[in-house]
Amino acid sequence: MHPILEAQQFQTRRQFFLGAGLKVGGIALAGLMGAQRASADDAVHPALPGLPHFPPKATRLIYLHMNGAPSQLDLFDHKPGLQEHFDKDLPESVRNNQRITTMTSGQARLPVAPSMFKFKQCGEGGIWMSELVPHMHEIADEIAMIKTVHTDAINHDPACTFVMTGSEVPGKPSLGSWLSYGLGSESNDLPAFVVFTPTFPKESQAQALFTRMWSSGFLPSKYDGVALRGTGDPVLYVRNPPGVLRSDRRAMLDALGELNQRNFDRFGDPETLTRISQYEMAFRMQASVPELTDLSGESKETLEMYGENVQTPGTYASSAILARRLIERGVRVVQVLHRGWDQHNRLPKLMKGQCDDVDQPTAALLKDLKQRGLLEDTLVVFGGEFGRTVYSQGTLTKDNYGRDHHPRNFCMWMAGGGIKRGVTHGETDDFSYNIAENPVHLNDLNATILHCLGIDDRRFTYSFQGLEQRLTGVEETHIVEEILA
Amino acid sequence: MTALQRTLTVVLLNLTLAASLTAADDRVQFNRDVRPILSDHCFACHGFDQKKREAGLRLDVAEGAYADLDGHRAVVPERLDDSELWRRVISDDFDEVMPPEDFGKPLSSEQKDVLKRWIEQGAEYQQHWSFVVPQKPDVPDIDGATNPIDAFLQKRLQAEGLTASELADRTTLIRRVTLDLTGLPPTIAEVDAFLADKSSDAYGKLVERLQERVTYGEHMARYWLDLARYADTHGLHLDNERSMWPYRDWVVRAINDNLPFDEFTRWQLAGDLLHEPTRDQLVASGFNRCNVSTSEGGSIAEEWIYRYAVDRTTTAIEVWMGLTAGCAVCHDHKFDPLSMHDYYSMYAFFHSAADPAMDGNKIDTPPILKLTRPEDEQRLKELDQKIAIVESRITELVTAYEYTDPTTQSPQPTEQTIETVWFEDGFPASTNPEATGAPLKIVSKPDGQVFSGNSAISRTASNAIGQDFYHGGAEFTVPKNGRLFAWCYLDPNDTPDTIMLQFHVGGWNRRVVWGNVDRIPWGKPDTPEKFHMGELPAVGEWVRLEIDPTKLNLKAGTKIGGYAFTQFGGTVNWDRLGVVTTTNPTTDPAWSFAVWKQQNQGKRNNDLPEGLRQLVRGKQADQWTPEEADRVFHFWLKTFYGGLRDEIGLLEAEKTPFDREKSDIEKAAPITMVMADLPQSRESFVMLSGAYNRPGGKVARGVPAFLPQLAAKPADRDYNRLDLADWLVSGQHPLTARVTVNRIWQQFFGTGLVKTSWDFGSQGESPSHPELLDWLATQLVDDGWDMKKFVRRIVTSHAYRQSSRVTPELLERDPENRLLARGPRYRLDAEVLRDQALFVSGLLVPTVGGKGVKPYQPPNIWEPVGFGNSNTRYYKQDSGDALYRRSLYTFLKRTAPPPFMASFDAPNREQSCARRGRSNTPLQALQLMNDIQHVEAAREFASRILKEGGESAEERIRWGWRVVTSRQPVAEELAVVKRTLDRYHDRYAADADAAAQLIAYGESRADSELAPAELAAYTLVANLLLNLDEAVSRN
């Protein structure tokens, strides 16, 4: 039998037994309120039986996705030798006739554009970082930098779909959906998988996001990521309509619970009992979500650490602190998708704006997690969907250039549960154009993420369309052992 | 009971059922019992896929299993001990045991036992059941089972020692069948009528009535649109709007017209290839254009041509054959005999599609069809007639014209002045003159000042702008060397401040002015918009005003579509406006055809139409046939000749409004994307590893070898999609009918007879009732693929009509209701939930068809994800009726689908979907309780309760309850609702502001006749009723 159906049946059956034994009425359910963390027996988001496969190093994931593909050459992949190659053609031996996009394939030349930004080695591990991310310098000793991530797709839409779902073709579950399917969540009052799509600098060239990046694909839709929104209701429809108080809703739910219970008595459908409990969960969310987004209990120091935007709902800084608050409340996966990183031209100016948006809050999030003891079992991932070319697209001057898409190597970093601190993994050639050693395919990276969370990606499957589907695809994968603590 | 004990109980109960589902006799059947084991545990390494085959052993065919491999034979029929397979299966040697431990899929002891018995009994292979053409089985003879469906089901139930449930009560039944056939609940009147109809065929008549409703097609179409992956945006990158909705509306129509499924198939897979396809057939071919497409900068064209073809192939195979072809894109299918070669042979049918790799982010990515409405078609015909009449008058004029070329005249004319009059005695007859100030006043001699002819305009404007003008209906051409002129008479006793002439050239933008330039504020001074000619002319006499057209930027050939006589103050008479030109006709190509011929001979003249252009350019004039010469000459007369230009101009102007209307209609005509092939087919190849840039062996269009073959290839052409469609619906295809009936079955019972309705291959589940499936499939073909009849067959069965009540014992025995000892019960679909709320509230606007609408949607669904330049970045909510249309018509943006759909498991239509999930989540609860459209619907429903439900609270609650559930509440239910109502009454009586806020939610206005506190209280009661488990489920 299908593992998920088995699990579901088990769940409804269990609820059936509970329901048959107890009188589940409004009053009884009202008494369940306020329970923040679920005990194993009444978890709203139970894990699959047998998961995790082995004791995990991390139990939660925060995934910071820089959508549009940040330039590795201007952030983390330091190539001092390029200065001599300014405006010279990319050597054929380096390019080696690799596929390039049709945005630059018609260009007469592919002139090398060295980064105009200063780099320094940060922390005891000496990880290279540019002046664009000064706050990240301070967390260098917490992270493992991977310089050799590579992907299959050369354009945003397929690449974003790939980085989040392990497939370029729409329809597969996202990483967060896989995790909430497999591991469930410890929070009974909040969704298992929460997504932020924060604001970004107005002048930036923003590529689209797609709900498929956090959707459940062929998994049941209850594993969809739930977007926590900056404007309007933080969770869709969480607010009562105008003129309706929480006590009014309680009265309605008391009546509803009683009437639905009678309906269960008439038809015996276990879904009816599930529905009763989901309405109660909804009611709890109506309290837990506003509590979550209320920052009044945060200390002044903490708020300052994230920067002044932290108080503005919908910003990256606000998403970052909320990510921590969600993790604290037992949510399994938080994904922040920050847009605007597609610098085909005017890269220096635009990158500055992008980095100003994310640098400080990202560093603050790591420090905040650490000071609360949460970093040791929370995995944090930072990256984009591919990298950018060493050659300039369009205008090239010392302080103005653009870069095209480059799937052949880019940088991502990981930190927290299960990850070595202050290390760099992999090396690229002198042009950051090819991988020189230790390639890490995105499938390997995802396998490594699952590994940190106690999951063997080979055994984590879901049968769909006649295939044992995996997040990490059908080819062999390799855990990046070198960065594991 | 401890948790562990409970688990064990459940597992044991499940095992009981699993055993009972495979069941009855002792003899092992390969397809039913053995193939699933081999498929799941062995085929990955010992299956059809050559490349991954280990040790040269294949177990998917008998020859492979029996083959002698180095002295070992995997399977020796009846000889267990000689069978290597058995030895390996029971081995406890880590290196020998099969499946290998690291494969992670050990065999259970039951499975081993099946294999053992199979070998002992002779190790017979059967072809996979779904690849064998179904033969119609005999209907079992079961007492009381009049519908063959029940005969098959009950035979099985009897074997299991179970019985079907009694019929559901009639209120449950009418609600169930009305929701299932129309997606809307029945009204109380309909329930009452059905309860009152005591005739034996009351139910049958009800079903027929429901199938006649347009809402039938609207509801049934949804399921097909999930398969067709229909949506209103392109789906990738910018995700811009695409115009595809005529296809959606066609699906609704085709279902309502009961288009037989074989035709339904042909039209969609190959409507464009049918003989002289009708408009509907072309629209239907849009099925193959519903795939997602991109126009992302930097994309590589070959990759996307390839991907679109793969999408179309995979979708067709899944929809009609129920096979998961996706695997064979990259490698031979491991479990089914579908090779890459098979896959790419089918792909070749779709690989020559004419649509471009880049959709251009356009709404109308070609090929497209423009659809004018029937009433417009009529109007277009009328317009064409009107245009033709005018054109024939022009032709008459031209052919009857007696022309003498000035070069042949004797004596030859010399330079002469030619005056063309545009205004004399009145505006051109074909126009509708307008005025600013008093109505147009025409004076005649002797009552007023007239310059020439019989009459003139006379206008008095006291201290204001006054004018007479026309625009449209007549058109004049500025000649070469022409000068405009007009005559005016200013009243010496009432002199104006300013006079002005205006000319319309695509807008009122050419003006000349005399006198005080500031009095009339229009136009930018010192430009052609307002050219100052000087002081006012002399008063008390007729004065000729002359204007150099170049001052107004009017060039020879410019068309003037209107003129205005304008003044500020005073009294002015206007007469005789026109243009004067000086020319020598013997050298002017506008007057001498001989000169024109000479000048244009051998040259490309773009003013000539196709045909004449080539003639004039390519053939000496003296070699033209008389007929050719006439055509050129008449065209010259009509188009270029100065002597007819204004006469024809008037006629042309008569035509202008018709031309404009025609083009407006054509522009407004809906567009739909259709399928077409390139004139020259692309060559197709097996694509190694499914990579667009790694072509392997070349393939020809064809179908998999393990299925029936295509009809003989026509002598004069290659196979095409129509041949493929014909093959699918030949009636001899083992899959098409089975897959189709199974999907409809799933629609009505929640689960298909084959549970994996998307996978009929060996990884899919075997049918729970194989004979019933085959009977239904063959019967569908025998019935001429009549889908309405098939649906009637299902919904009139006892199985469908029985009560859905389940006992704990039965639930344990058959949790998924595969045996159908009870009726189906499940949560309503996303669209039905919203439509039901709109329907019971009376808000639903039942308009059928049309462009997608944008109902209520919370802010920031599109905006945070949309690409900067996308035309679907900002959601602009509609207002009025568009808010309350059926959900089928909601605009679907694939990358950010409407929350009311997404939260309730509607697919985002990025790819084909054969079965939706049915989740049960807190987000759904929040939506049904708080979404503005549900709250507004609750308020309107509350208004109806108050106005239609009776006088007392009890009557009203009863009425509301019945509207939602179709049944009467019992006393306890009534009491619970009444108690809640009382509480809300008190609450809103005490808080008028809260009541006002609640009932003001939504765009429509609350009925002001109703007391706000009462309406608010009932609104929450209505909200409660619409959230009942019974309301969101169909029983």
Q: What is the pLDDT of residues B792-841, one digit of tens each?
A: 999 999 999 999 999 888 888 888 899 999 998 999 999 999 999 999 99
Distances in Å between the Cα of B1013 and the Cα atoms of A243, A249, B932, B950, B994 are 11, 17, 19, 18, 9
Contacts of B24 (CB under 8 A, 6+ apart): B159
Q: Answer yes or no: is pLDDT of A53 > 60.
A: yes
Q: Answer yes or no: is pLDDT of B520 > 60.
A: yes
> Considering B770, B796, B825, which residue would you say is the last residue of a domain?
B825
Q: Answer yes or no: is pLDDT of A15 > 50.
A: no
Whether residues B999 and A237 touch (CB distance < 8 A) is answered with no
- Closest partner residue to B980 among A236, A251, A458, by Cβ? A251
pLDDT tens figures, B18-74: 444 444 456 888 877 888 888 888 888 888 777 778 888 888 888 888 888 888 899
B345 token code pair: 């042979």
d(CA B673, CA B652): 35
**Contact present, B318 and B324 (Cβ < 8 Å):** yes
What is the pLDDT at residue A466?
66
Three-state SS at B696: strand
Mean pLDDT across the stretch B386-402? Answer: 92
Return the top range by mean pLDDT from A154-163, A204-213, B859-868, B951-960.
B951-960
Interface test mutation site (partner A, options B865, B927, B982, max chain A beta carbons within 10 A): B865
A positions 109-138 inside 8 Å of B (CB): none
Identify whether residues B62 and B121 lie together within a single domain. Answer: yes
Identify whether residues B756 and B712 lie together within a single domain. Answer: no
pLDDT tens figures, A75-86: 999 999 999 999
- Closest partner residue to A221 among B860, B905, B1030, by Cβ? B905
d(CA B661, CA B378): 13
DSSP alpha helix (H) spans, B514-644 = 593-600, 612-618, 626-639
- Closest partner residue to B977 among A102, A233, A255, by Cβ? A255
Residue B31 sits in which domain range?
Answer: 22-126
Give residue B387's Cα distance to chain centre: 34
Contacts of B197 (CB under 8 A, 6+ apart): B205, B206
Instruction: Quickly state the pLDDT bin for B138 (edges 50, 70, 90).
Output: very high
Instruction: Quickly state the pLDDT bin for B414 (edges 50, 70, 90).
Output: confident
pLDDT tens figures, B773-787: 999 999 999 999 999
User: In order of start, what are the domains of chain A with their CATH numbers?
Assistant: 3-20+43-483 (3.40.720)
Identify whether residues B569 and B467 lie together within a single domain. Answer: yes
pLDDT tens figures, B598-656: 888 877 777 788 778 878 887 888 888 999 999 999 999 988 888 887 788 778 878 87
pLDDT tens figures, A226-248: 888 888 888 999 999 999 999 99
Instruction: Quickly state the pLDDT bin for B539 (edges 50, 70, 90).
Output: very high
Answer yes or no: is B90 within a domain: yes
Identify whether residues B776 and B721 lie together within a single domain. Answer: no
- Closest partner residue to A252 among B300, B804, B1023, by Cβ? B1023
Instruction: Give the closest residue to B514 by CA, choosing from B524, B527, B523, B501.
Output: B501
pLDDT tens figures, B741-772: 999 999 999 999 999 898 898 778 889 999 99
Per DSSP bridges, beta strands B695-699 and B684-687 are antiparallel
A positions 415-454 inside 8 Å of B (CB): none
Amino acid at B234: H
A338 token code pair: 């920050």
CB atoms within 10 A of CB B818: 19
Interface test mutation site (partner B, options A155, A246, A266, max chain B beta carbons within 10 A): A155
Identify whether residues B346 and B423 lie together within a single domain. Answer: no
* Cα first-last separation, chain A: 37
pLDDT tens figures, B167-196: 999 999 999 999 999 999 999 999 999 999
Number of domains in chain B: 5
Mean pLDDT across the stretch B498-518? Answer: 93
Answer yes or no: is B224 within a domain: no
A-chain CB neighbours of B895 within 8 Å are 208-212
- Closest partner residue to B930 among A17, A41, A239, by Cβ? A239
Burial class, B37, CB count within 10 angstroms (exposed 0-12 / middle 13-18 / buried 19+): middle
Answer yes or no: is B670 within a domain: no
Q: Answer yes or no: is pLDDT of B936 > 80.
A: yes
- Closest partner residue to B10 among A10, A220, A243, by Cβ? A10
pLDDT tens figures, B268-285: 999 999 999 999 999 999
What are φ and ψ of residue A415, in 5° steps? -155, 160
Interface test mutation site (partner B, options A18, A202, A259, A344, max chain B beta carbons within 10 A): A259
Q: Answer yes or no: is pLDDT of A31 > 50.
A: no
What is the pLDDT at residue A23?
31
Biggest CA pair distance of chain B: 131
Q: Answer yes or no: is pLDDT of A37 > 60.
A: no
d(CA B181, CA B210): 7
Q: Answer yes or no: is pLDDT of A449 > 80.
A: yes
B477 token code pair: 């051409």
Instruction: Quickly state the pLDDT bin for B431 (edges 50, 70, 90).
Output: confident
Answer yes or no: is B198 within a domain: no
CA-nearest residue of chain B to A257?
A: B1028
pLDDT tens figures, A377-415: 999 999 999 999 999 988 899 889 999 999 999 999 999
Instruction: Please give, rounded to a whole number of angstroms, the shortest distance from the CA of A295 to a CA of chain B.
Output: 22
B486 token code pair: 């007009």
Q: Average pLDDT of chain B? A: 91
Identify whether residues B430 and B532 lie together within a single domain. Answer: yes
> Considering B583, B611, B643, which residue would you say is the last residue of a domain?
B583
A336 at interface of B, judged by CB pairs closer than 8 A: no
**Element (DSSP H or E) covering residue B560:** strand B559-568
Identify whether residues B717 and B741 lie together within a single domain. Answer: no
- Closest partner residue to B927 among A229, A237, A262, by Cβ? A237
Q: Answer yes or no: is pLDDT of A32 > 50.
A: no
Three-state SS at B321: helix
Interface test mutation site (partner A, options B172, B361, B900, B929, max chain A beta carbons within 10 A): B929
B-chain CB neighbours of A267 within 8 Å are 804-806, 825, 1035
- Closest partner residue to A252 among B859, B897, B1020, by Cβ? B1020
- Closest partner residue to A157 among B6, B294, B827, by Cβ? B294
Instruction: Please give, rounded to a whole number of angstroms, the shortest distance from the CA of B984 to a CA of chain A.
Output: 8
Instruction: Please give, rounded to a whole number of angstroms, the shortest distance from the CA of B983 to a CA of chain A.
Output: 8
Q: Answer yes or no: is pLDDT of A33 > 70.
A: no
Answer yes or no: is B55 within a domain: yes
Identify whether residues B820 and B698 lie together within a single domain. Answer: no
Identify whether residues B247 and B334 lie together within a single domain. Answer: yes
Instruction: Give the closest residue to B175 by CA, choosing from B166, B157, B160, B188.
Output: B188
Identify whether residues B424 and B571 lie together within a single domain. Answer: yes
Whether residues B1028 and A256 touch (CB distance < 8 A) is answered with yes
Please report, rounded to a whole number, the percentage of residues in chain A having pLDDT higher than 90: 69
Q: Answer yes or no: is pLDDT of B310 > 90.
A: yes
Q: Answer yes or no: is pLDDT of B997 > 90.
A: yes
A-chain CB neighbours of B1001 within 8 Å are 241-243
Distances in Å between the Cα of B616 and the Cα atoms of B120, B322, B595, B600 are 91, 61, 14, 7
Identify whether residues B497 and B467 lie together within a single domain. Answer: yes
What is the pLDDT at residue B25?
53
A350 at interface of B, judged by CB pairs closer than 8 A: no
Mean pLDDT across the stretch A190-202? Answer: 91
Answer yes or no: is B1029 within a domain: yes
**Element (DSSP H or E) covering residue B1013:** helix B1012-1026
Whether residues B973 and A262 touch (CB distance < 8 A) is answered with yes
Instruction: Please give, rounded to a whole number of angstroms, the shortest distance from the CA of A79 to a CA of chain B.
Output: 26
Answer yes or no: is B5 within a domain: no
CA-nearest residue of chain A to B11?
A: A10
CA-CA-CA-CA dihedral for A103, A108, A110, A116, to nearest 10: -90
Rounded to the nearest 5 percent, the helix, strand and coil shares of chain A are 40, 20, 45
What is the pLDDT at residue B46?
87
Strand (E) positions, A339-417? 378-383, 387-392, 403-406, 410-416
Amino acid at B841: S
Identify whether residues B709 and B812 lie together within a single domain. Answer: no
Tell me which of A159-163, B475-479, B884-888, B1000-1004 is least confident: B475-479
Q: Report cis status (omega within 30 of 0) of the bond before A52.
A: yes
Whether residues B926 and A235 touch (CB distance < 8 A) is answered with yes
- Closest partner residue to A268 among B806, B864, B867, by Cβ? B806
**Contact present, B813 and B822 (Cβ < 8 Å):** no
d(CA B986, CA B981): 9
What is the pLDDT at residue A232?
80
CA-nearest residue of chain B to A170?
A: B910
Answer yes or no: is B632 within a domain: no
B-chain CB neighbours of A233 within 8 Å are 858
Provide Rg for chain B, Cα atoms: 40
CB atoms within 10 A of CB B846: 13
Whether residues A259 and B998 touch (CB distance < 8 A) is answered with no
> Considering B825, B860, B884, which residue would you say is the last residue of a domain?
B825
pLDDT tens figures, B541-585: 999 999 999 999 998 888 898 999 999 999 999 999 999 988 888
A positions 146-205 inside 8 Å of B (CB): 154-157, 169-171, 191, 197, 205
What is the pLDDT at residue A465?
67
- DSSP 8-state class, residue B430: T
**Contact present, B589 and B599 (Cβ < 8 Å):** yes
d(CA B622, CA A354): 74
**Element (DSSP H or E) covering residue A128:** strand A127-130
Instruction: Please give, rounded to a whole number of angstroms, the shortest distance from the CA of B999 to a CA of chain A.
Output: 8
Q: Answer yes or no: is pLDDT of B5 > 80.
A: no
Whether residues A157 and B866 touch (CB distance < 8 A) is answered with no
